[in-house]
Structure 1
Amino acid sequence: MLFMNYLLYFILFYEINGLPQINLDLTHSISNIESNSSLQHDCLHVAAWIENEESDPYQIISYCMSEWPSKWNIKNNNQDQYFTFAQLYQLNISSEQLHLWSTPLDIIEYYELYLNHRLISNTSVVMAMNGFYNCTPPRFGPLCEYSLEMYQSDHLTLNEMIHEYYLHEYQPTTLTCYIHLECDRGSISLCLDWSEICDGIVDCRNGIDEEACWQLNMNQCEDNEYRCLNERCIQKIFVKDDYNAFECLDRSDERLPYPHTFVNTSSEPTFSTEDVTCSKRDTPFRVKMTSSCVKKRTALIEKLMFTDKPQNISNDCWLAIHCQWNINITSDLICDDISSDGNFTEIIDQTCPNMLYMPSSPVIFGHIYFLYTKEDMLEPNLYIPKPRYLCYNDQLCSGFYLNRTLLTFNNATCRRSEDFPLRFNLPNRLNGGMWNGMYALHSFTYLHQCNTVNHNEPLSCNTLNMYKCVNSSKCISKNLLCNEINDCDYKDDEQCSLIEDSYLNSDLHHFKQCTTQSIVIHATSVDDGICNCGLNEYGVCDDKEFYDNYIKTNILFPTICDGFTELIPVEIGERYETDETECDYWICNNSYTRCDGFWNCLNGADEVDCDPSPALSCPLHNHICVSPEIYQLMCLPLKQANDGNIDCVGATDEPQLCRSAQFSKGNVNIYCRNDEKSDCTTYENLCHDPVCNETNYDFCEKNWNYSSSVLIDSDIDKFFRQRKLEMDKLRVKIFSLGKINNSIKKNTTIIRLPLPITQEIIRQQQQHCHRGLLLRVWLDYEKNLTNETCLCPPSFYGNMCQYQNQRISLTLQFQTYADSRQTLFAIVVLLIDDSDNRLIHSHHQFSYLYIRDCQIKFNIYLLYLTRPKDEKKNYSIHIDIYEKISLTYRRSFLIPIQVSFLPVHRLAVQLNIPRTTDTIERCVNQHCIHGQCMKYSDHRNGTTFCQCNQDWAGRYCNISHHCSCSNDSLCTGILPNNRSLCVCPFNKWGSQCLFQSRVCNSNQNLTCLNGGKCIPTDEYIVSNKKFKCICQKGFSGVRCEIIDNEINLSFHENIKLSQSILVHFIEVFNDSPPINGSTYQMIPVNKRTAILYWSYPFHIVFTELDDKKYHLIHVQNTYHRSRRINKEIQSKDRCPHINEINQTLNQYHLLRL
């Protein structure tokens, strides 16, 4: 009875409290694979947080343990109730309940196997003795031996818990390291970051981080591909498609705000934070020291550079110099120990050598040091003094002044800074007096030719992507030309006017030809806060923000005669005209200008009577303003606005007094005038501006609160604050039908936010696990003995997630043909090698449904089976596509992995799923012993592979393997942990397809209405929608509950008709661009009618015939769903081309139409 009561309490506890599920995966230890530390085990699979389910990338992050649990001596659990499988069966406990109770997935699968074999297998007796521990939250795991330090009981889901944890910015106190390249940075404290390999800047003293990178320049992109600045290729469809999603590692595929030095690390470890680089070249006021996007890494590197003491320097000398120059001194007590009076010159004089490097490691490019003499050391200074000499490897840089006295120190050539020549900054506010901003930055900028990456590499120099420096064997990437940094010894790479046009014009993505001057600038210089092209005669900068320039140089209908001069004068005949000339007969109060907050009519007629709840009740056609007599709100008749007389405080009735003359964004809207001069200012300066304060002295004394810079009268304060500045005016107004209404109310999802985790707790956990999750291991619960380890995301590993992983970061997007847009697909992604075993290094599975996922990017991490990866092997990504309901094989794709030396491969591919009628190409290959030879889809080289029969695997299907997948699933290979790779039917999930997805099984007719087909959402996807309904034609909605709009078309006999038409639907918004959608509709033979259905809101619909003739079908200001529209298309419905309307008007310039 006690046993039953305990279990009942446990069930009710979970149901009432709604505790988060924490289901650990891959917990079964297998002795023969524990030696492989890179194999993923003890993992939590968590979906990255999604804000917009229709467009945000899909990504599952596996947080896994690097240490095998067998290393810990974990005592038996005597605190939590233990149930055998036999007992669970007797209590009618299902595997679904175990899943809800945070049971490890391996145990749930084993229990499901027991249930399936209980009566038919002799092993069931042995299996019945297995069981699970009923863990008390927050503990979980096979023995209840783990708990997450971030755990809080008020979280509803694990996803919510992890999302909140990562909202706190990453602030590391130690470095993470890439250890699979033997890099000597000249310091035992410094290590290489993966982003510093092939970033174009040498970091290792032996240059190994850039040694093989010349091979990237040999890479040629296809016609449909975009070449990233780092020489990698991505499909052009991914370029400038989402400013928050980068498919180029260096982020050059998206337009970045300036400065673009870092990324937001206050988010989960997804592609957008972990698989990007931030160039050292992009830092405005200091050398970044790394291409990592982690803000804190540069500061950590600088600190560690000054920590390492050379062996030939005494401790007293080293410490005295640090105290003398205030380097990394965290406490005065440290310096008091060697000198009580703060004078360290005697110690330096007696213990230090005549010369030393400070710091002791190279400052830049792996070979440039700062050398100081004892005279420098003895000089008291609040900051590190200017280095007396700069030392370098003279084989790696030249082009300096000749006939200068050189010094040799530690096998390096040294010369004075002024002999380069090189001028250092003095301490100032921007560099904070730090040596980086004063000395390292200028050394990095003006000695960049010493960054010799490709020195005498003939294969690389002869490629189209390279530029050969003059009078030198050195060559550099074409992408480094004209970037305001000297990479060639004689600076010819920045003499852009002398560089052959073929270098620059062949890649317009990375260079911009200025129109104001005959110069070319680098793409990274566009919109960087500096006008690099120079201003034209109208003050327009060619490389400024795109939309500003566009509106100044293009005629846009909504800006014509709107009261603001925005178009640069255009020569028409013998006159120059703008968008505000010849506006006498233009109606300024129209659907584009009405009630937008700006006086487009000079008297503000377009802004009267707009406020539904005004602060003052006025007659119609009156403005509200502040009386200059009594300093209260008053009503001003429209006829007194813009009459040349100032009737209101700040001249708000005469806005033209402060309106910009032309082409620029005005940021003032308050006018003041005294006897001597006039001035325009903002509301915030109304009582601070000298002229305005004098003009409005009485008003300011009576109404202004100088301590808080607000008006005492809240209504007057609100009036001034609501007045918009010209710079806030929308530069492009959107096409409008007037005030658009939508009868459909969009649901607002309210997300429950948990109590915040304190910043101090987060900081401590980050110090221990970096980008991973801190996990407490309960060794002995009774004695309260614990240990700490980490669950690391795929980009890291180690007991503290301190090592950076070699990985592939793959983005997939899919397109389907019309016959498959309601077909549910199973996508199986494998990382394989070219060995005879055809090892599957890692894998990922997900479902794809076009009507649900057409815009979705699928971000997938793939890891190698060994650390480091075997660079002698060739790796590829193999993708199988199956129809998930029937498990019919559709096709396979191959993506080869090139240039094996890269630590992170960033790939982005859009795949077209073949039609159902497309023939599967088979081949004849006698090596496919237990399988059949297949050709990869869309592979130009005709590459083939062996598709193995069940129970067989390997490159030639000659490796026998017993399939452990459920009978109704597919077995497609062997995984590294000796498990079968299973493809599940649509209503099952789990590694062996043993778990039922019952969301669609409960009652199909109630889940999806009107004959819709229910499809369960992937198990690990975090979504409020647990299923998707594939609706019958004519229905839509979450449950197919909505009757679609039905349009019945008939065509008059005088309309020339083909067998198909194109129908366009446009949805119009008040303040956003319209959305359009189109559909083809077949016309039956010998018929002149068609019936079509449309599931989405629309306001305009028209048809397009084969001869490019358009006919209007319907216009509505308010969208009504489930509406039936009957329309006969006649000649009068045709939308004529503008050339057909009036030939005389057609001859006019666009400004005069």
Structure 2
Amino acid sequence: MFSSDTNIVNGEKFTFTQLRQMDISPQQLFDWYAPMDTIEDFIEENSEGLFFNCSRKNGNNWFGPQCQYRFANDGGFLKIIDRQYAMRTFNDFKSLSSTNGTCYPVMKNECQSIICLDWREIFDGKIDCTNGFDERHCHNLEMNECNNTNEYRCINGQCIDKEFYLDKQYDCMDMSDELYEQLLESDSMFLPDLQDRLCPLTWDRLYFQQMPVSTFILFTHVSLIYDNKMPKWICYNETLCPYLSMNEFNSFESHILNGSICRAFNVFNNKTYTDLKDVLKEFKRFVRSCSLPPNVQPSEECSMFPCDDKSKFLSYHRLSDGFEDCSNGEDERQNVTCSFNLPYYRYQCNQETKCIRKTLVFDGIDLSDADNNTDETDCSMDEWRCLTPYTKCDNTWHCLDGHDELGCKNSIPKSGFCTKQSHFYLDIVTGLPICLARSKAADGSIDCVGSTDERAFCRIKYKNNRMNRYRCRNSDICITPFQVCDCHQDCPENDDETLACIWINNGRKPFCDESKFRCRNGKYIECGEKICRCRSDSLYCSEGEHLLFCDLINLSLHPAFTMNELEKYSNVTKHRVLTMQQITDNVNTQQCNQGLHVRSASSSIRFYCLCSDHYYGDRCQYQRKRVSLILRPSITDSFDHQSSFKIVVLLVHQNTTIVSHNQFLYEPQFLCLPKYYLTLLYPINVSWSSSSLSSNYSVHIYSFTSQTLEKRSSWQFDVPFHFLPVNRIAKRLLIC
């Protein structure tokens, strides 16, 4: 409750006594957007209460208990959110001057890391704490088995209801339950569970910024030291990297640096490299076995797949799942996976012994066997449709000939250059615009610059890199669209700077300025630190030529941190986050991380951060431990479909104490098989520390008829992995 001498300048102050004298009702307070706490106090006849009627002053809407807040920009609430998050998406690097990002706090000295960890870095299969504390319990996830009768096992070991598998909505936190190309046609920013997905945002950038000059560090203890882009030394912890200390390497000279063994790079790899990106890629592959603490041999009762170097023991679910986990990739070359009695979600390749995950089938990437039989070969279009409401006009070719992208309003160029049965592209010989008939796409003959009509090659060669999709002319090299027309030759024949740019240059001399982009009509776009190319949120060029070749990139919710960004960080002074007193009056929404930035009339620093449930702290910088729920209620035929139900969800400790709660109204007559996304929060002082790992938490759910509050059904689900910062529970609830 505010004191009566509260000074407010952006609204009108009333005492509860004054409101009653004016015959103001609780409904009127509600209509005036009064806080619910204020309305409840008013109903309880608290005579000492205050109500601040916020006004519109100087064209700005003031809000808050004391009318002390307003947004820096006017407009609808959704537009304000969209603007703030869009600024962060394209200014990640700049944001590090004012914030360290968000992280998951732990007990002091429990995790020894150069930066505070993002929750996604905990139990993710690689060491981030120098003492390995963040991965000590990861084997519990790896060995977990789901109920094959009614559950689907995500790649990360968590379980979801079987009904949610391949339903065109992501339910696994690692998104392994859906075809990777089938992103929903909605703004990813507003997906209800986006903050609960296993895709780090700025953590990699923060980590790289702390590295010494000319040093690339993995898993906190493995270092690649390079000079002028040439690899020189690999240093590692011998206990955590037994594979690198095998007899074949021990005979070579070694040195000790800060307690680590250092050997020359050519001891492990004598290839010649011209690009630092290729060096780092090979380095990451070679030291993959050092990503986990020393293995504890699994018990005889636990059947797991051992990598050749014995650095990892994997669940059999990880075999032929599309991701290399062993250092030599042997887990993806297993040809007898059908014999492992894995659940129904495996696809048998051409009636043979190899079974792969169904999410790899008809994903536009061939996984060939020795006889050239693939996961794409035996799938009829009726069984695995490439053209669906979710794939139509989403700027990605799901069909081999791209007919799912024909006749789209957002096609390039904007002027409707081609018919609805042909693609706009640049001729491979002249670089001039052509309209390519659908029948000539994916016919085995390259007709277009960048091999835009024959996309299979780059997708197969770089199946785990969704950016390298522009194929250089007469070459097996694939580069990213961002390397095209960037004033730097990346292709052997320089077609990325000549043929690819003829149409954009429109008869003028090539234009080379990394800070600007020239449209076909001669207009110049000032880019500065922003990315001009491949941004669909703003129409930079009237014909959309800034989007040329961008449809080659396979859709992804978040742009990956690419290795060519590494050189930016070697020359950056280690940043120091600004203190509250150092923040200027300039609006910088990055100061609030994942929260909303608002102006504050009552704060000395002139801004305030509004945090969502997932975060806390004055900058919304700390991540909450939580349970993320996806619930799908349904009713039996005994109920009238006009019925409605109140669903109450509780997080309970030791079956006695309610620590968090949520609720929603289920109305079957309005929604058919809806999904409800809820979050249950742990107390802030509960973390993944050793003291809380054995805590007994469970989720209790109760359904009541909304009219009479008669109890109908109840469910109880144990929270399976208490050591995880975020647990996912995805269940179907049948109300009886």
TM range (shorter): 0.5 to 0.7
| Partner of residue 230, structure 2 | 385
The correspondence for 2:220, drawn from 357, 360, 366, is 366
Are residue 445 (structure 1) and residue 267 (structure 2) matched? no
Mapped to 1, the partners of 2:219 and 2:629 lie a distance apart of: 31
Report the secondary structure of 1:789's partner residue: strand
Cα offsets for 1:239-284 (capped at 9, x unmatched): 1112xx32111100111129x9x9998624x543211113xxxxxx
| Partner of residue 617, structure 2 | 798
8 A Cα contact 2:225 2:231, kept in partner: no
The correspondence for 1:176, drawn from 102, 107, 110, is 102
Are residue 149 (structure 1) and residue 149 (structure 2) matched? no
Mapped to 2, the partners of 1:104 and 1:661 lie a distance apart of: 63
Structure with max Cα Rg:
1
Identify the structure with bigger relative contact order (alpha carbons < 8 Å, sequence gap 6+). 2
Q: For residue 496 of structure 1, what is the amino acid of its counterpart?
A: Q
| Partner of residue 898, structure 1 | 720
Cα offsets for 1:156-208 (capped at 9, x unmatched): xx4564455445553342332112266888763x2211111222222222222
Q: CA deviation at 1:495?
A: 4.6
Q: For residue 463 of structure 1, what is the amino acid of its counterpart?
A: C
Mapped to 2, the partners of 1:93 and 1:550 lie a distance apart of: 64
| Partner of residue 397, structure 1 | 242
Give the TM-score, by structure 1 length.
0.42
Mapped to 2, the partners of 1:786 and 1:792 lie a distance apart of: 17
| Partner of residue 334, structure 2 | 496
Mapped to 1, the partners of 2:722 and 2:140 lie a distance apart of: 11
| Partner of residue 198, structure 2 | 277
8 A Cα contact 2:286 2:327, kept in partner: no
Are residue 247 (structure 1) and residue 171 (structure 2) matched? yes
| Partner of residue 427, structure 2 | none
| Partner of residue 826, structure 1 | 646
Are residue 873 (structure 1) and residue 700 (structure 2) matched? no
Mapped to 2, the partners of 1:545 and 1:298 lie a distance apart of: 40
Please list, as runs of the form range in 1=range in 2, the aligned pairs for 1:727-738 lying within 5 A after superposition.
none
8 A Cα contact 1:80 1:134, kept in partner: yes
8 A Cα contact 1:517 1:534, kept in partner: no
Mapped to 2, the partners of 1:131 and 1:402 lie a distance apart of: 76
Cα offsets for 1:28-59 (capped at 9, x unmatched): 59xxxxxxxxxxxxxxxxxxxxxxxxxxxxxx
8 A Cα contact 1:768 1:800, kept in partner: yes
Q: For residue 897 of structure 1, what is the amino acid of its counterpart?
A: V
Change (3 A) 1:453 1:257: farther
Change (3 A) 1:528 1:402: farther
The correspondence for 1:193, drawn from 109, 118, 139, is 118
Q: CA deviation at 1:771?
A: 0.9
Change (3 A) 1:533 1:74: farther
Cα offsets for 1:133-164 (capped at 9, x unmatched): 222233333333x3133452x43xx4564455
Mapped to 1, the partners of 2:172 and 2:255 lie a distance apart of: 43
Cα offsets for 1:202-239 (capped at 9, x unmatched): 22222222111111234321111000000111011111
Report the secondary structure of 2:243's partner residue: coil
8 A Cα contact 1:148 1:774, kept in partner: no
Cα offsets for 1:647-689 (capped at 9, x unmatched): xxxxx9xx9xx885999599989xxxxxxxxxxxxxxxxxxxx
Mapped to 1, the partners of 2:36 and 2:441 lie a distance apart of: 67
Change (3 A) 1:389 1:810: closer
| Partner of residue 53, structure 2 | 134
Report the secondary structure of 1:876's partner residue: strand
Mapped to 2, the partners of 1:163 and 1:485 lie a distance apart of: 34
Report the secondary structure of 2:598's partner residue: strand
Are residue 860 (structure 1) and residue 678 (structure 2) matched? yes
Q: CA deviation at 1:396?
A: 3.2
Q: CA deviation at 1:492?
A: 5.0
| Partner of residue 515, structure 1 | 350
Q: CA deviation at 1:470?
A: 5.1
| Partner of residue 943, structure 1 | none
Mapped to 2, the partners of 1:886 and 1:161 lie a distance apart of: 40
Are residue 478 (structure 1) and residue 316 (structure 2) matched? yes
8 A Cα contact 1:392 1:414, kept in partner: no
8 A Cα contact 1:535 1:541, kept in partner: no
Q: CA deviation at 1:544?
A: 7.3
| Partner of residue 32, structure 2 | 101
Cα offsets for 1:855-895 (capped at 9, x unmatched): 32111111012422544431111112111112222232212
Q: CA deviation at 1:109?
A: 1.4
Are residue 209 (structure 1) and residue 42 (structure 2) matched? no
Mapped to 2, the partners of 1:814 and 1:552 lie a distance apart of: 29
Mapped to 2, the partners of 1:256 and 1:850 lie a distance apart of: 31
Are residue 506 (structure 1) and residue 342 (structure 2) matched? yes
The correspondence for 2:274, drawn from 419, 426, 437, is 426
Please list, as runs of the form range in 1=range in 2, the aligned pairs for 1:46-61 lying within 5 A after superposition.
none
Change (3 A) 1:422 1:525: farther
Report the secondary structure of 2:232's partner residue: coil
Q: CA deviation at 1:813?
A: 0.8
Mapped to 2, the partners of 1:475 and 1:887 lie a distance apart of: 51
8 A Cα contact 1:183 1:206, kept in partner: no
Number of residue-to-residue matches in the alignment: 545
Report the secondary structure of 1:214's partner residue: helix
Mapped to 1, the partners of 2:269 and 2:5 lie a distance apart of: 66
| Partner of residue 412, structure 2 | none
Please list, as runs of the form range in 1=range in 2, the aligned pairs for 1:900-919 lying within 5 A after superposition.
900-914=722-736
Cα offsets for 1:762-808 (capped at 9, x unmatched): 9954321011012344338xxxx554331111221111011111111
Mapped to 2, the partners of 1:234 and 1:423 lie a distance apart of: 44
Are residue 463 (structure 1) and residue 302 (structure 2) matched? yes
Mapped to 1, the partners of 2:271 and 2:357 lie a distance apart of: 25
Mapped to 2, the partners of 1:763 and 1:275 lie a distance apart of: 31
Report the secondary structure of 1:814's partner residue: strand
Report the secondary structure of 1:455's partner residue: coil
Cα offsets for 1:806-846 (capped at 9, x unmatched): 111111111101232221111111111116xx322121122
| Partner of residue 779, structure 1 | 602
Are residue 298 (structure 1) and residue 204 (structure 2) matched? yes
Q: For residue 195 of structure 2, what is the amino acid of its counterpart?
A: E
8 A Cα contact 1:218 1:463, kept in partner: yes
The correspondence for 2:589, drawn from 747, 766, 778, is 766
| Partner of residue 560, structure 2 | none
Q: For residue 699 of structure 2, what is the amino acid of its counterpart?
A: I
Q: For residue 868 of structure 1, what is the amino acid of its counterpart?
A: V
- Report sequence identity in percent: 30
Structure 1: where are the runs of 5+ without partners?
Answer: 1-27, 30-69, 115-126, 279-291, 307-321, 326-357, 428-434, 554-565, 568-595, 598-651, 670-704, 711-760, 915-1153
Cα offsets for 1:67-120 (capped at 9, x unmatched): xxx9xx995336643223233233232222212223211111122233xxxxxx
Mapped to 2, the partners of 1:528 and 1:412 lie a distance apart of: 43
8 A Cα contact 1:829 1:877, kept in partner: yes
| Partner of residue 180, structure 2 | 256
Change (3 A) 1:786 1:136: farther
Report the secondary structure of 2:134's partner residue: coil
Cα offsets for 1:1058-1102 (capped at 9, x unmatched): xxxxxxxxxxxxxxxxxxxxxxxxxxxxxxxxxxxxxxxxxxxxx
Report the secondary structure of 1:251's partner residue: coil
Mapped to 1, the partners of 2:322 and 2:701 lie a distance apart of: 43
Structure 2: where are the runs of 5+ without partners?
Answer: 387-398, 401-405, 408-434, 449-505, 509-518, 522-583
